[in-house]
């Protein structure tokens, strides 16, 4: 499973969005329907799954699914 697929699954489970809505370019709020609580839950799950720390500043910069995926890959040292 790629980082994108893993993040896609986390977002779908948290927001009940379908896979077609959670594309790499999808806006986390507009397209995926994330509210602040959803984003917090996503951060916590990502931190746990990838054993990384996400600062509030970093999470605040995530606008798209790509932003989140790229942050995770960089923080976890994953090269796909």
Catalytic residue among 21, 27, 31, 35: 35
Q: How far apart are the first and last CA of the chain?
A: 11
Name the 3-class secondary structure at 64. strand
Tokens representing 17?
């969005």
In this structure, are residues 66 and 1 in contact, taking their beta carbons and an 8 Å threshold?
A: no
38 is catalytic: no
Other CB atoms within a 10 A radius of the CB of residue 25 amount to 8
Active site (catalytic) residues: 35
């Amino acid at each position: 499973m790629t980082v994108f697929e893993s993040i896609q699954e986390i977002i779908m489970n948290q927001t009940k969005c379908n896979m077609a809505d959670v594309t790499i370019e999808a806006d986390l709020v507009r397209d995926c329907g994330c509210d602040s609580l959803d984003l917090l839950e996503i951060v916590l799950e990502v931190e746990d799954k990838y054993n990384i720390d996400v600062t509030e500043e970093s999470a605040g910069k995530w606008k798209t699914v790509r932003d989140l995926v790229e942050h995770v890959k960089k923080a976890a040292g994953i090269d796909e």
